[in-house]
Structure 1
Amino acid sequence: MSTTWIKLNAKALYLMKGGTNEFIEKVDLVPKLELLTGATVPTPIAGKFSLNIPARWFERSDAPGQMAINLTDTSEPSAFKTTTTPTAATPSTFSKITAPSGEEFAFIDSRSAGTSEPNLANFQPNQALNDGTLLPRYYFKVNDFKDFSKKLTTNFTLLEFISDTEIARGITFPYYIPVAIIRLADSMQSLRDRFGEPIRVSSGYRSPFYPDYQNNPSFKSAHRFGTAIDFVSVGDRIIDSQADLDFVDDKVFDGGFLGGGNRPSGSSSLGFEFTESAAEMGFDIHHSHLDMGYITQNAELIHVKDFL
């Protein structure tokens, strides 16, 4: 087995695939913060960084055997892409996907849809983003607005998993949503059960029609994959402080929490990989962001195989 190695540059610490310049995981260098006299928000201290090295990197069967350091290098190595064979049946055999609630939606493989789904091209399936990651291949179809009222789970409707911004700007049908959002909804139901209180969701899937992606079509965000969720409250608790983020993260991550800003942020039996930190929000905390990473192509089928 090829041994992994560690690369540290001015941008991040990377666990690298042996014999390549591709990274398996990374931990961004996070500026240490200091409250300066007269400042209203913490400010980065020049040249000082906090860095958490995941212990699990050294527990792998191919644990890193060497490290390369270049603190003047700001380039980003490419992400290592595994070749995965889905454990589910051949995609062409699927005609529907069933949400945990029992609601059924038409299953679409964008690579075989052809002219039968002309509007699907507007959702840019399989398009390469700025780091080469491909947008999803598999979608389900929403024919009209009343479909958004269908329940994905006991407590969540499909409408709650669509960006408020897109809804406000108006939606053209048919509308297509990555199948991964079915698993996201299932995990959010489990999180709601842990809290025992309603969760107010503000944004889930964001299609290419979302304003940020209209301005920057290759921008990478887990919201584009149907694997990210933003929510603004749990019960009567509004999420607007670090204590609120900690309150959420304590429920989401089961142990070994590495902190927001790390990818992954820790282990979660709910399937979440990452939580956004206050620093990433510019210290303007007004929601909790959770995501499951960039699940795309064959991995999409594995992700939702229980619902096909």
Structure 2
Amino acid sequence: MTTTIPAAGTLPWRVGAAGLQVALVHRPRYDDWSWAKGKLDPGEEFAVAAGRETHEETGLRVRLGVPLPGSRYTLLGKDGRPDVKVVRYWAATVVGGDGRLVNEIDDVVWLEPRAAHERLDYARDRDQLLALVRRHQAGTLDTWPLVLVRHAHAVSRSDWDGDDDTCRPLDKGGQLRAKALAPVLAAYGVRRVVSSLSDRCVQTVAPYVRTSDARLRTKRGLSEEGFEADPTRAVAHLERALAKGRPVAVCSHGPLMPTLVDVLRQHAADAAADDRALLERAGADKLDKGEALVCHVSGTGARARVVAVERHRP
């Protein structure tokens, strides 16, 4: 029986005096040049593994950017049977790390695309390089993330004894999902969190805020009550986030999601058809409880363009 091995990796990139460059890694065990990547830990999400493996192999801490084409290939398993390895990739921006090599890699080089194309040992790795170069040429490689989060599962209204619905907390399943969201938000380098003041929203993002240096701001306009009183305030909060242009997560409620997603759709006219369709479905679904909708944005304010979209569902 064929086993599927999930893995994830990144293409760290930078632009300097020499133009666009990407980072390749050398594995002495195989004497090959490829991208930083590795297998998922049990229960780990692809995006989280991509950042973790990059740090472990290169010593560099990265923020995930736009997703790139994946790869799928067959390996010979330990039992002699073929295994299928499925790898997902992201473009990535270096945000820290000392570059010290500690795990399976003995060299990291930064090369311009033509030299990287020649250095890579596997034809399948050139698909990601080509996609990254095309993004750079189109001006959609340098992005920042706006992550729209619907609060995780809360205690039901029928089981809640409190008079104030804004105090209704997450249930045990919601608390687990909130903890699982923290490394996802970390993978995209979220620095600011803007949330409804309702406890179930604040508790959804609290694990990430506690384990990062992200700043939390609560807004009545992102609550159900505030939205019912004045729907324009929620839109204004999202437009303000687009104007600032810094990695941000916005946490709110199901009834607000179609309106908030529609704002993002208005900035996604130049996105690929699949990404526009994904946004449309997310708005229609009102997002799942505990879902993170990652929008990769190029530019700010009126010129902000959503150029890629990902759904991280529970």
TM over 0.5: no
Q: More strand per residue: 1 or 2?
A: 2
Question: What's the TM-score once normalised by structure 1's chain length?
Answer: 0.28
